[in-house]
Amino acid sequence: MASNFRIATKRKERTMELRLTGDFDGTSADELLHLLGNDTKGIQRVLVDTKAVRRVYDFGRNTFQKNLYRIKTLPLQLVFTGEKADQIAPENSRFCQLLCPE
């Protein structure tokens, strides 16, 4: 994992907010996938804020997108926000630059 990568989590009812910070590499992608697969019991929507991501490495993006099958069976709506949302979010997913409506 990039030594500067962190995931801050916050739960609000059935929504989990994740704030990614630092560089997003392959190990960071695995950490995000692990969190989504193991720490989202009772969660329906996950907001992934990429505003504080400094750099998205191709390997990190590819690792995340190619391994999403690990959480495919979970009833999660993933919403990516922030400047790097379009670089991390899988194709055809929902992302927005500032604020997503409910």
| Rounded CA separation 86/39 (Å) | 24
Predicted confidence band of residue 3 (pLDDT cuts 50, 70, 90):
confident
Q: Where are the domains of the chain?
A: 6-96
Contact 58, 92 (CB under 8 A): no
Predicted confidence band of residue 99 (pLDDT cuts 50, 70, 90):
very low
The identity of residue 58, as a single letter, is: D
Task: Please tell me the predicted confidence (pLDDT) of residue 34.
Answer: 95
Q: What would the pLDDT profile of 63-94 be if each residue is shown by its tens digit?
A: 999 998 888 888 888 889 999 998 998 776 65
Q: What would the pLDDT profile of 33-72 be if each residue is shown by its tens digit?
A: 999 999 999 999 999 999 999 999 999 999 999 998 888 8
Superfamily of the domain at 6-96:
STAS domain (3.30.750.24)
In 10 A of CB 73, how many CB atoms?
Answer: 8
The identity of residue 36, as a single letter, is: L
